[in-house]
């Protein structure tokens, strides 16, 4: 008979492991991985009392995995957001703490399938915000850019502005090499009869106002503040646009595997 001798290292379990191991916190992480939610929505979704959900959200916020900010629709509400990038780093650190060979490497790209007479259906995505002048057109442009046109993507607003915000045009041109200078905001009513697989709202106000779609697209909310609000100096607001575009780009990178799994193997994360 052989015995394995366990040598104690004196090291505590990584913080991420301790946090994620709790059943309710794992369910919170899983829910927030799909989109941003308010506390009362998480209470309904998970079926636990609000004080218990709030307690575990507080622990996740303290760790930096979850952030919260006031809703732009109702300042009495807050939206909670899971930082997937931070989760990815925490998972890598957890593997390395166990053994240096457990470093998480990027998954190799899946080879494109053989060409067939009938190409696979492209996922259809709608980004919605209020003015369709900054957040949603930036999301539309970045998703189209990152999927090489393998996704049918559009954007619209509940109260479209007369033009795309100049800072939105500038940030896409300077940091991503994308030009949307000729694009014009469109109203949600113009796409109400279209069919979408994913409907992603990017501002809290439009989440309460966008039209119903009879075919029931998958709804996701990204609570992203309007970068044009809160600055009297238009030039001073440009860093907020850079930050907003970077956040949207990060979220889109984590959206790609969802689109890949659902419909089209040609989309590469």
pLDDT of residue 268: 57
Q: Where along the chain do its domains lie?
A: 15-102, 124-262
How far is Cα 251 from Cα 114, in angstroms, rounded to an integer? 30
Averaged over successive runs of 10 residues, the pLDDT of the chain (269 residues) comes to 52 86 96 96 97 97 96 93 94 87 59 52 93 97 92 95 96 97 95 91 89 83 88 72 96 91 56
CB atoms within 10 A of CB 174: 12
Q: Which residue has the tokens 């890949």?
A: 260
Q: Output the CA–CA distances (angstroms, integers) from residue 36 to 64, 102, 190, in the order listed.
A: 15, 31, 26
pLDDT of residue 99: 85
pTM of the model: 0.85
83 with 65: CB under 8 angstroms? yes
Q: Output the CA–CA distances (angstroms, integers) from residue 215 to 121, 149, 198, 251, in the order listed.
A: 16, 23, 11, 25
The top-level CATH class assigned to 124-262 is alpha beta
pLDDT of residue 236: 62
Q: Residues for the chain: how many in total? A: 269
CATH of domain 15-102: 1.10.10.10
Buried b (16+ CB within 10 A) or exposed e, 73-94: beeeebbbbbbbeebeebeeeb
How far is Cα 54 from Cα 159, in angstroms, rounded to an integer? 34
Token duo for residue 243:
């930050």
Same fold, 15-102 and 124-262: no
DSSP 187: B
Q: What is the CA radius of gyration of the chain?
A: 21
Strand ranges for the chain from DSSP E: 66-70, 78-82, 124-129, 152-157, 198-201, 218-221
94 with 16: CB under 8 angstroms? yes
């Amino acid at each position: 008979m052989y015995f394995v001798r366990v040598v104690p290292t004196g090291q505590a379990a990584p913080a991420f492991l301790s946090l994620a191991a709790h059943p309710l916190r794992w369910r919170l992480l899983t829910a927030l991985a799909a989109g941003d939610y308010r506390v009362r929505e998480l209470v309904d979704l998970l079926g636990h009392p609000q004080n218990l959900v709030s307690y575990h959200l507080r622990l996740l916020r303290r760790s930096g995995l979850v952030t919260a900010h006031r809703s732009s629709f109702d300042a009495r509400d807050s939206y909670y957001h899971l930082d997937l990038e931070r989760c990815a780093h925490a998972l890598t650190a957890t593997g390395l703490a166990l053994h240096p060979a457990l470093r998480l490497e990027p998954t190799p790209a899946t080879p494109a399938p053989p060409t067939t007479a009938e190409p696979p259906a492209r996922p259809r995505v709608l980004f919605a915000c209020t003015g369709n002048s900054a957040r949603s057109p930036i999301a539309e442009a970045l998703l189209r850019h990152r999927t090489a046109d393998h996704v049918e993507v559009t954007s619209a607003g509940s109260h479209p502005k007369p033009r795309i915000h100049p800072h939105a045009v500038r940030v896409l041109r300077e940091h991503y090499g994308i030009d949307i200078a000729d694009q014009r905001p469109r109203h949600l009513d113009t796409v109400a009869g279209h069919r979408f697989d994913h409907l992603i709202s990017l501002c809290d106000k439009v989440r309460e106002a966008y039209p119903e779609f009879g075919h029931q697209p998958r709804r996701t909310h990204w609570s992203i503040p309007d970068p044009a609000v809160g600055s009297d100096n238009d030039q001073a607001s440009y860093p907020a646009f850079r930050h907003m575009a970077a956040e949207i780009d990060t979220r889109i990178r984590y959206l790609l595997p969802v689109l890949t799994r659902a419909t089209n193997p040609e989309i590469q994360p």
